[in-house]
Structure 1
Amino acid sequence: MVYNRRNSHLRNPLICNRKPSFLSISAYVIILFALSIFVFILSSKDILEDEQKKPIPLLDKFKPEQLGDDKLWEASFSHGLHPCAKPTSKYKAGQVWDRYITVRSNGGLNQMRTGIADMVAVARIMNATLVIPQLDKRSFWQDTSTFSDIFDELHFIKTLQQNVRIVKELPKELENVPRIRKHFTSWSGMSYYEEMTHLWKDHQLIHVAKSDSRLANNDLPVDIQKKLVERLRSRAERYIALHLRYEKDMLSFTGCTYGLTDAESEELRIMREKTNHWKIKNINSTEQRIGGFCPITPKEVGVFLQALGYPPSTLIYIAAGDIYGGNAHLSELTSRYPNVVFKEMHATAEELNPFSKHASQTAALDYIISIESDVFIPSHSGNMARAVEGHRRTIIPDRKGLVELFDRLEAGELRESSLSYHVRKLHKNRQGAPRKREGAPPGIKGRARVKLEESFYQNPYPECICKSKGTVI
């Protein structure tokens, strides 16, 4: 759920106030950059100026109306709704049981993060003690980071102590106890996990091999989901965090080659062909783009932001990996918005060195800076986008609709002077106004229906969004 960031925030107990260490100090250096980031505005222009391309003709005459700060930076149409994470009067503190759940979290940082939060709720439902999860060290990312390398372990345990018992490791007397290895059915609800409590009759320890997508998004008691979040601190400085998914692997996986050279397109095709776990090899790039399945290009992001009314001086933090094609493609954004920054521009090599071989820790830095931003914009959907959207105001580009507008503009079927009107109209309901979480699309039945529901982490309304007294919506 997205809402007015200046009024309130939610803090996930997984990432926050940890004990000072060389690693955490490095992380805070990055975060401090985000808080004092406007200092960079005057100095960054010269750095980028030499490498910029000439302004793209598409917008030479396009001068969108500049909106007031309240419309650019604040969530609109709140209807008196506000975030809330306190349990209801019916909620009872968790009981301590001599039953344990261990879990191996799988996937990248944000996939593991939501999976861990799911397992907190599962442990609560099953009246079990949760052992600090093991992180995935064998996936595509090949990251050796442990839970405490990324998350504040003590805070995680303490914050949830009234809800579920969490321990750092199994008691020694249980290390050799026979355990049952369980693959819980994905997207299962309360009744399923209540039924699974029969396992305690014969076992004291359950090991969950995978943590992702364990819990249904809807039809759970409100208190089960409320306990997963708390307030985030507010910040005064304003900047956009842009999750620019214009990385080589993303473009290759989606088969999107619009705006690339023939050589670049061929390089992506070869990468897709050689990646065994990517099932689809032949992809029609044009159909992908028209269908809205491609990441927005740096050029299109620039057009989009200008159409929304953000001035050229707007500071943009890029929360992403290496941009494919480097400055050749990034300049299509910086020609319009020169104040584009990466973490590498504001931290020394020595400060970033501890993160160099730990993709999950690097992603954690981008995640923290993104949830602290005033506006978050993802150029493509994914776990990161969904996780951040649930914390703060997010503008979700309508990729399919934007492609249609851009193509009409390029074909001369749409006047440049009217582009801003059409873009804002298209995104009237995609800029942070609260709305109830969506269910599955009509006509979908069975297990697929539960799977296609909007994620709770993306939109925690109604569980963690409350009405002000007298509010009618």
Structure 2
Amino acid sequence: MALRRRQLKRLSGGTVGKLWIVAIVLVICTLSLLTSRTRSTATRSEISLEELWGTAPSDGWRPSSAPRSDWLPPPNHSNGYLRVRCNGGLNQQRTAICNAVLSARIMNATLVLPELDANSFWHDDSGFQGIYDVEHFIKTLRYDVRIVESIPDIHKNGKTKKLKGYQLRPPRDAPISWYTTVAMQKMKEHGAIYLTPFSHRLAEEIDNPEYQRLRCRVNYHALRFKPHIMELSNSIVNRLRSQGHFMAIHLRFEMDMLAFAGCFDIFTPEEQKILRKYREENFAPKDTVYSERRAIGKCPLTPEEVAYILRAMGFDHSTRIYLAAGDLFGGERFTKPFRLLFPHVENHSSVDTTGS
């Protein structure tokens, strides 16, 4: 047990970094959801704990990520190289990777392995190679897009030239037409383009089922965490399951999210100062009114509010909860009310995986 905890501590603070731990958390949350979903149509009086812990029916829905017969492999000739910098948290970066693959397909470009932002909050530089199985990613998508780990040097007239890519800032939720015109023009001019930032830079609503299926193939098949991450994640899940049902929650009551939301009024003057400073340094200026943002659901729920919602759903104080991610902003003042309602709380440091 002590050895495993030392491994976790070293991994969370070393070269693999904090996003490595977040990757584990995502796996645990996903596995937990498979056993904790419930029907959204059920009323409070109809809900039983057995239903809460059961698997929700599919209602006829089934996976549909496989390409249809008219989906052709990428042409032999590429229009150039596409580089992207995926910013935001790991969930946003994962979505950006899906969009990067689709953008490369749209432009008939060779995708350079996406860059993951060394987030100013997580302070992580693990990169794509440190979190995901690169070989599996490239192999799974070989009939959809060309993917290389880096742009190869160009050798011409006895000289070596490095292509870095013409830098562009895509509009938020850019339509396909932006990629086939503006981005394509620069790619053909320079041989490579570098799109940064790349969070939410391709429209979600695209009237092309095959493009949406490609996004699904990337997310559910091509993106696979590295074996050692999966091994540790599974050992944590197995240990938690060995003691019965459990719930995994990421409260996301952390400094970067709170600063981005601009919801400061519930904090002390000193805490507000910290949040405002972080917001000024990392986000675009924007006037925010706490009461207005909270009224429209733009403020993260406090841990206590989350606890009340869970209790209202039918989960009682005996419920075991795996609490994902790092320390909550505001510390014990916000953690204590949650633990009073749900005292059986675990995290990646407290779970003993030596017996798994």
Match of 1:97 in 2: 77
Q: Distance in 1 between matches of 2:113 and 2:284?
A: 34
> Contact 1:132/1:167 (CA < 8 Å) preserved in 2?
yes
Match of 1:255 among 250, 263, 267: 263
Q: Distance in 1 between matches of 2:89 and 2:137?
A: 19
Higher relative contact order (CA 8 A, sep 6+): 1
Match of 1:229 among 219, 223, 235: 219
Q: 1:280 to 1:321 in 2, by over 3 A?
A: farther
**Residue 120 in 1 paired to residue 101 in 2?**
yes
Q: 1:300 to 1:347 in 2, by over 3 A?
A: same
Deviation at 1:255, TM superposition (A): 2.5
Paired residues, what number?
295
Over the residues paired in the alignment, what is the CA RMSD in angstroms? 3.9
Match of 1:242 in 2: 249
**Residue 79 in 1 paired to residue 59 in 2?**
yes
Q: Deviations over 1:64-93 (max 9, x none)?
A: 8860423444335x4311222111222112
Q: Distance in 2 between matches of 1:181 and 1:117?
A: 20
**Residue 265 in 1 paired to residue 268 in 2?**
yes
Q: Deviations over 1:112-146 (max 9, x none)?
A: 22222211111111111111123323745443322
> Contact 2:106/2:179 (CA < 8 Å) preserved in 1?
yes
> Contact 2:258/2:275 (CA < 8 Å) preserved in 1?
no
Q: Deviations over 1:366-412 (max 9, x none)?
A: xxxxxxxxxxxxxxxxxxxxxxxxxxxxxxxxxxxxxxxxxxxxxxx
Match of 2:320 in 1: 315
SS at match of 1:345: coil
Q: Deviations over 1:41-78 (max 9, x none)?
A: xxxxxxxxxxxxxxxxxxxxxx98860423444335x4
Q: 1:257 to 1:73 in 2, by over 3 A?
A: farther
Q: 1:342 to 1:200 in 2, by over 3 A?
A: closer
Match of 1:274 in 2: 277
Gaps of 5+ in 2: 1-14, 33-43, 156-160, 225-229
1:4-403 pair list within 5 angstroms: 67-75=48-56, 78-98=58-78, 99-137=80-118, 139-173=120-154, 175-177=161-163, 179-195=165-181, 196-199=183-186, 201-227=188-214, 228-230=218-220, 237=241, 238-253=245-260, 254-258=262-266, 264-275=267-278, 276-277=280-281, 284-346=289-351
SS at match of 2:167: strand
Determine what percentage of the aligned residue pairs are the same residue: 33
> Contact 1:96/1:128 (CA < 8 Å) preserved in 2?
no
Structure with bigger helix share is 2
Normalising by structure 2, report the TM-score: 0.68
Amino acid at match of 1:210: P
SS at match of 1:225: helix
> Contact 2:173/2:201 (CA < 8 Å) preserved in 1?
yes
SS at match of 1:229: helix
Q: Distance in 1 between matches of 2:140 and 2:154?
A: 27
> Contact 1:133/1:147 (CA < 8 Å) preserved in 2?
yes
1:429-440 pair list within 5 angstroms: none
Q: 1:149 to 1:194 in 2, by over 3 A?
A: same
Q: 1:216 to 1:313 in 2, by over 3 A?
A: same
Match of 2:39 in 1: none
Amino acid at match of 2:212: Q
> Contact 2:165/2:194 (CA < 8 Å) preserved in 1?
yes
Larger CA deviation: 166-175 vs 272-281: 272-281
Gaps of 5+ in 1: 1-21, 39-62, 259-263, 352-473
